[in-house]
Amino acid sequence: MICENTLTDIPFELDQAEIFRQWQIDEDCLDDIGEFGGLIARAQATGRPKGLWREFPLRTTGEETAEIGGVTFRSRLLAKMLKGKKRGWVFCITCGKESDALLDPADPLVSWRADELRMRMLHAARLAVENDLKTQCRVAKVISLAPGSGETEQLWSITALGDLFALVGGDFTARLGVELTPEYLMLPAKTVCGIFVESEHDFQSCMLCRKENCTGRRAAFDQSAWNVVNH
């Protein structure tokens, strides 16, 4: 029996007052309040963040290779992260293609604001999927890694997305509406695919990335963590 779940009705809340503070919108600027308040309202009404997780057996086969569901992936970081683990959960989380309607190609500022709202939907999807997985599989804590994370191919090549999509037999597209282009771009853009594994320690792939001014950063660069992976 496959241990898995698909979540397509994930609740989320967009706090207009808090968002306006972040966007530094003055309460006296009625035009901005009207335009962006309407954008937030549409996002709340039409947003449909989604997620899917599925359990697979794991096996580390070398210093730079590991198997997920019998498929070999090449990554030094992945091999270290999966060492000693017997099971993991391939996942995909997305803001939902419904939110594409919030983008306005003719207005870059509106599209930028819309993408920030879509990031909040993605965050809600991530929390919901993690909590659902931990509850159903009775694990206290998980860490994750996604192809393309970090700044170098040493972590996990973006091309691994093709194999992860194949592992779930097309369900990321059929159930979540997520598409993978030949250039390994996932659509909608605010989508993440990777693997969760049980762990007692904290880890974020951001810890291995020196890129600055990243809106999705969840942890600061950690030189000691980088040294462990690359030596």
Residue whose token pair is 């090449």? 74
Give the pLDDT score at 200. Answer: 75
Q: Distance of CA 7 to CAs 36, 93, 173, Å? A: 28, 9, 14
Give the pLDDT score at 216. Answer: 57
* Among the listed residues 132, 158, 145, 148, the one whose alpha carbon sits nearest the alpha carbon of residue 51: 132
Give the pLDDT score at 31. Answer: 73
Question: For 141-175, how does the pLDDT look when each residue is reduced to its tens digit (9 = 90+)?
Answer: 999 989 987 655 568 899 999 999 999 999 999 99
16 vs 209 pLDDT, higher one: 16
Cα 111 to Cα 142: distance, rounded to the nearest angstrom: 33
Examine the pLDDT at 29 and tell me if it is beyond 80: no
Examine the pLDDT at 226 and tell me if it is beyond 50: no
Mean pLDDT of the chain: 88
Examine the pLDDT at 61 and tell me if it is beyond 70: yes
In the chain, the domains with their CATH numbers are 4-230 (3.40.109.40)
Rounded mean pLDDT, 186-213: 78
199 vs 111 pLDDT, higher one: 111
* pLDDT bracket for residue 121 (50, 70, 90): very high
Percent of the chain scoring above 70 in pLDDT:
83
